[in-house]
Amino acid sequence: MTVMYEEALQRYEPVFGIETHVELGTRTKMFCGCITTFGAEPNSQTCPVCLGLPGSLPVVNRLAIEYTIKIGLALNCTIASWCRFARKNYFYPDMPKNFQISQYDEPLCTDGYLDVLVGGKTVRVGIERVHLEEDTGKSLHIGGATGRIHGAEYSLVDYNRAGIPLVEIVTKPVPGTGFLAPEVARAYVTELRDVLRALDVSDVRMEEGSLRCDVNTSLSARGSGEWGTRTETKNVNSLRSVERAVRSEISRQAAVLDTGARVIQETRHFHEDTGVTTSGRSKEEAQDYRYFPEPDLVPVAPAEPWVKSIAASLPELPAARRARLIESWSLSDLEFEALRNVGALDVVEATVAAGASPADARKWWLGELARRANDAGVEVSALPITPAAVARVAALVAAGSLNDRLARQVIEGVLDGEGEPDEVVAARGLAVVSDDSALLSAIDEAIAANPDVTARIRDGKVQAAGVLVGAVMKATRGKADAARVHELIMERLSS
C-alpha cells in the first residue's frame, strides 16, 4: 500500500541522508600488499593479512590516507590531526577476521559540505564525516535463479575484495527540500561522483560497485517541527535508483503514517526492477558492534605540512569548473545542468578547445550526437567521434562549405568509420554547391516547372518562394545553401 508521491508531500516533510562507500583506486589493499584489480580469478589476490589468518598484522596504506584527506579537503571538511582506527565486531562469511577495521568516534575528516545545483538552485548538503575502512569479500550464491541466497544450492566466497580501502562519506540529514528531495539526493551523488573523479582517487563505477549508496529517508508531519523515524535503503547502485529509492520510501512511509502506525527503523532493500523497497533486517545500534580502538595499528597523525601540500595539489573541482564554464560560455544554470546531465561537459570543452564556438559545440553534442548516443544506448563521450572532428564539422558549416543537413551526413560518415570529416566530405561528395551558375540552372528549371508559384511571388507573396527553394534543394540533393538559393530566386524574379 502506497500513496501518490505528490499527495504524500502535501502532508509530510521528507528528510534524507546518504552514506556513500567508495573503493579507493590504490594499487594495493588497505592493510597489505595485495593487488586490487577488479575482475581477477576468485581468491587470487589474497594473503594471510586480508584472509585474517592468526598472527598476521596490518600495516596502513599511506596512499589511502592521502586519498581520504584529499576527499575531506574537497568536501570542505576539517582534517583530524590525530585519530585512530577501530574494530567493528560482527560476523559475516565474507569478512574473514570477524571484525572490520573501520573508524568510529575518531574519523579522519569531519564537518564539511558539498553544494549541488538542482533546477537552477544551489542546495548545500552538509557532510557529517569521511572515514576510512576496509571492504569485505563477496559471497556468490550458486544454483538459484536470482543469484540470492534463497533457492541457492551452495555459496562460495571470493576474498579478492576483502581489504580494499573503502571510504565512507556520510551526509548530515538534509531537510527542507520538499518535492525536490529525490532530485537533490540524485544531484548530490552525481556531484560527489564528479568530485571523486576529478580527484582521481577512485574509478567511481557504480555498476562495478566501486561507488555504492545507502539512502536514509524519514517523514514528519508538515509543521510538526519533529523528525520522523528513518529507514536505510541499502546498496542503491545507480544515480537513477537513488532518486527512485527516495521517492518510493516517501510514498510508502506516508501510507504507513496515514494509518496511524509508526515507521519501523530498519534496513530495506531497493529492487531495480520494480523500483520499490522491501523490508530487510532491523537496524543494529552502534553498541551492537562493540567498537574499540584497533590495537594492531598506530594512530594516524597527518602532519600539517603534509595536509597543506595535499591541499595545494587539489585539481579544479566541479564547482569551480561549473562557475568558470557558466561564465566563459555565457550559460544559464539550467543550460549547464543540461550539458552535465547528458555527460557532455568534457567533450564540449574539448570541442571548444579545438576551435569551435561554445554555442556550436553545445548544439552538436546536445543535438545530433546526443540523439545518436541515445539510439545506440551509450554515453555521448563513448561515440566514435573526436571533439576535434566535431569542431572541424562546425568550422565547415561556419565557412559555408556545409549546411546543417550535409553536416549531419558528415557526422554519420565519421561515426560509421569512414574517416575524418574532410575525408567523408570528399568520399561522399557532400560539399555545398557554391557555384551560382550551377544553382541558377536548377532555379530556372524550378521556375519553369512552377508557373503558378512564380506568379504568386511576383504578386508579392514572397513566402511562396519556399516551394521553389525546396525544389532546388531536391534537385541538388540537399547540397545547396538554402539562404543563397532564396537570394538568387528573388533576384531572378525581380529582374
Query: To the nearest whole angstrom, how small is the minimum distance from the Cβ of residue 156 to Zn ion?
Result: 19
Shortest distance, position 157 Cβ to Zn ion, whole Å = 15
Stretch that binds Zn ion, among 4-12, 42-50, 393-401, 486-494 (CB under 5 A): 42-50
Minimum Å gap between C-beta 56 and Zn ion is 9
Query: Rounded to the nearest whole angstrom, what is the least distance from the CB of residue 34 to Zn ion in the complex?
Result: 3
> Least distance (Å) from Zn ion to the CB of residue 48?
7
Nearer to Zn ion, 96 or 413 (CB): 96
User: Which listed residue (9, 15, 24, 34) binds Zn ion by CB under 5 A?
Assistant: 34
Nearer to Zn ion, 29 or 84 (CB): 29
Binding residues among 436-495 for Zn ion as defined by CB under 5 A: none
**Nearer to Zn ion by C-beta: 51 or 482?**
51
Region binding Zn ion by CB under 5 A among candidate stretches 34-42, 105-113, 167-175, 247-255: 34-42
Closest separation in Å from C-beta 158 to Zn ion: 13
Q: What is the 3-state secondary structure (H, E, C) of the chain?
A: CCCCHHHHHHHEEEEEEEEEEEECCCCECCCCCCECCCCCCCCCCCCCCCCCCCCCCCCCCHHHHHHHHHHHHHCCCEECCCECCEEEECCCCCCCCCEEEECCCCCCEEEEEEEEEECCEEEEEEEEEEEEEECCCEEEEECCCCCCCCCCCEEEEECCCCCCEEEEEEECCECCCHHHHHHHHHHHHHHHHHHHHHHCCCCCCHHHCCEEEEEEEEEEECCCCCCCCCEEEEEECCHHHHHHHHHHHHHHHHHHHHCCCCCCCEEEEECCCCCCEEEEEECCCHHHHCCEECCCCCCECCCHHHHHHHHHCCCCCHHHHHHHHHHHCCCCHHHHHHHHHHCCHHHHHHHHHCCCCHHHHHHHHHCHHHHHHHHHCCCHHHCCCCHHHHHHHHHHHHCCCCCHHHHHHHHHHHHCCCCCHHHHHHHHCCCCECCHHHHHHHHHHHHHHCHHHHHHHHCCCHHHHHHHHHHHHHHCCCCECHHHHHHHHHHHHHC
Output the smallest distance, CB 50 to Zn ion, in A.
3
Using the rule CB under 5 A, which residue among 32, 215, 361, 457 binds Zn ion?
A: 32
Find the part of the chain contacting Zn ion (CB under 5 A) among 29-37, 179-187, 241-249, 315-323.
Answer: 29-37
Find the shortest distance in angstroms from Cβ 300 to Zn ion: 20
Q: Which is nearer to Zn ion, 41 or 207 (CB)?
A: 41
Residues 128, 284: Cα–Cα separation, whole Å: 20
Q: What cell numbers appear for 231 in the block?
A: 529507514
Nearer to Zn ion, 32 or 473 (CB): 32
In whole angstroms, how far apart are CA 69 and each of 73, 108, 109, 125, 434? 6, 7, 7, 19, 60
Nearer to Zn ion, 164 or 184 (CB): 164
| 44 or 81: CB nearest Zn ion | 44
Residue closer to Zn ion, measured from CB, 49 or 447: 49
Judged by CB under 5 A, the stretch of 9-17, 32-40, 196-204, 262-270 that binds Zn ion is 32-40
Q: Indicate the residue among 49 and 348 with the shorter CB distance to Zn ion.
A: 49
Smallest distance, Zn ion to C-beta of residue 45, A: 7
Taking CB under 5 A as the binding criterion, the range among 30-38, 200-208, 335-343, 442-450 that sits at the site for Zn ion is 30-38
φ and ψ of 21, to 5 deg? -105, 130
Q: Which is nearer to Zn ion, 32 or 211 (CB)?
A: 32
By C-beta, is 29 or 363 nearer to Zn ion?
29
Site size for Zn ion, by CB under 5 A? 5
**Minimum distance of Zn ion from residue 117's CB (angstroms):** 41
User: How far apart are the two ends of the chain, measured CA to CA in Å?
Assistant: 77
The stretch near Zn ion (CB under 5 A) out of 45-53, 110-118, 338-346, 449-457 is 45-53
Instruction: Find the shortest distance in angstroms from Cβ 296 to Zn ion.
Output: 15
Residue 139, all three cell numbers: 559471497
CB-based contact 75:114 (threshold 8 Å):
yes
Under rule CB under 5 A, which residues in 384-423 are in contact with Zn ion?
none
Q: Print the binding letters for residues 47-86 with Zn ion: x by CB under 5 A, - otherwise.
A: x-xx------------------------------------
* Site residues for Zn ion per CB under 5 A: 32, 34, 47, 49-50
